[in-house]
Homo-oligomer: A and B are copies of this chain.
């Protein structure tokens, strides 16, 4: 398809598409004339991901570019491409490793990973920004006087693992390697508001069942 059709089908203006092309966030089309190029479904899919990151995930363009750089880096195997792309997503403040509640939170998170048998996560440890984010969240809960320890967190972690199994089973249904990685990144960003809303609705539903409306 030509640029005009790509714009119409993706909902992204031609000026913005040209900007993404210049930034290397979208592969060039197949050149079919001095000033025209041909685009296909892979370009459409990529524009969907860029919009998901920028419009929904509210990533700055530079961060979206970095995430997409990892998605496209076929010198990495899938776990590394995925890991690098997900780690490049914005994360919260870093833990203050000298703080007593942070040290206690590290201890509880270590115990949690041991209880769960998440051996890869334990191996990667503090290198993972997601683990550091979890430590900050647990430290905050404890500092405010809501003690969340490994035993209290384990059932939630098991539910999230079940969610991850469903996520990855769904990803398997996508044919190409690049599409698989793109889908996980998009799902991570786009599905968080869905899960948050579902949890709040489920709380209201369960509360009404127990205590009446």
Contact = CB atoms under 8 A, between A and B. Distances in A.
Given A137-B197, A197-B130, A121 B204 contact: yes
A150 interface: no
Copies of this chain assembled into the complex: 2
Contacts of A191: 141, 156
Q: Could you say which of A82, A156, A209 has the most chain B C-beta atoms within 10 Å of its C-beta? A: A156
Interface size class on chain A is 35 or more
Contacts of A11: 143
B195 A156 contact: yes
21 contacts: A48-B145, A55-B140, A56-B144, A83-B207, A92-B193, A118-B205, A128-B201, A130-B201, A131-B201, A136-B193, A153-B194, A156-B163, A156-B166, A157-B201, A157-B202, A159-B162, A159-B163, A160-B199, A160-B202, A184-B203, A192-B199
Q: Nearest 4 pairs between A and B by C-beta?
A: A134-B197, A164-B202, A120-B208, A137-B193
